[in-house]
Amino acid sequence: MALPSEFAVLEPFLDWDLATEPERYAKRLASTMSEMQDFYDVAFPLLNDVITYCEQYPLDDLPEDARTLMHMMQSLVMVSFPVEAWKQPRVPDSGAAWVECIREPVI
């Protein structure tokens, strides 16, 4: 998948192009803090530009590159708390608890 040139810096992180919350959560738990930090450091500054890019298309008819960018930004949200607050992939003091998403907003 080739991203638009203004987002080419995200191409090394295409493994974060995950369509569902369970996939994103599993990726977060399987990733090191360093991996998440690297993704966060590159993706976060582009968040508003990605939103602007995606908003030019109807949500239910996104072209492939916009859908990929949307999924990557959803992954960015998934890693933001571990990077910004917890400094670990799992929610602190959560034990074996988990949240299961039963409906995605768009795939």
Write out pLDDT tens, residues 11-34.
999 999 999 999 999 999 999 999
Residue 68 located in a structural domain: yes
| Residue, of 103 and 30, whose pLDDT is higher | 30
Q: What pLDDT is stored for residue 82 in this prediction?
A: 84
Q: How far is 88 from 13, CA to CA, in rounded Å?
A: 19
Q: What pLDDT is stored for residue 50 in this prediction?
A: 98
Residue 91 located in a structural domain: no
Q: What would the pLDDT profile of 44-82 be if each residue is shown by its tens digit?
A: 999 999 999 999 999 989 999 999 999 999 999 999 988
Overall number of domains in the chain: 1
Confidence check: pLDDT of 87 > 90: no
DSSP-assigned letters across all residues of 9-71: GGGGGGGG--SSHHHHHHHHHHS-HHHHHHHHHHHGGGHHHHHHHHTTS-GGG--HHHHHHHH
Residue 50 located in a structural domain: yes
Residue 62 located in a structural domain: yes
Q: What pLDDT is stored for residue 14 in this prediction?
A: 98
Residue 78 located in a structural domain: yes
**Which domain does 72 fall in, by range?**
11-86
Q: What pLDDT is stored for residue 102 in this prediction?
A: 66
Confidence check: pLDDT of 96 > 80: no
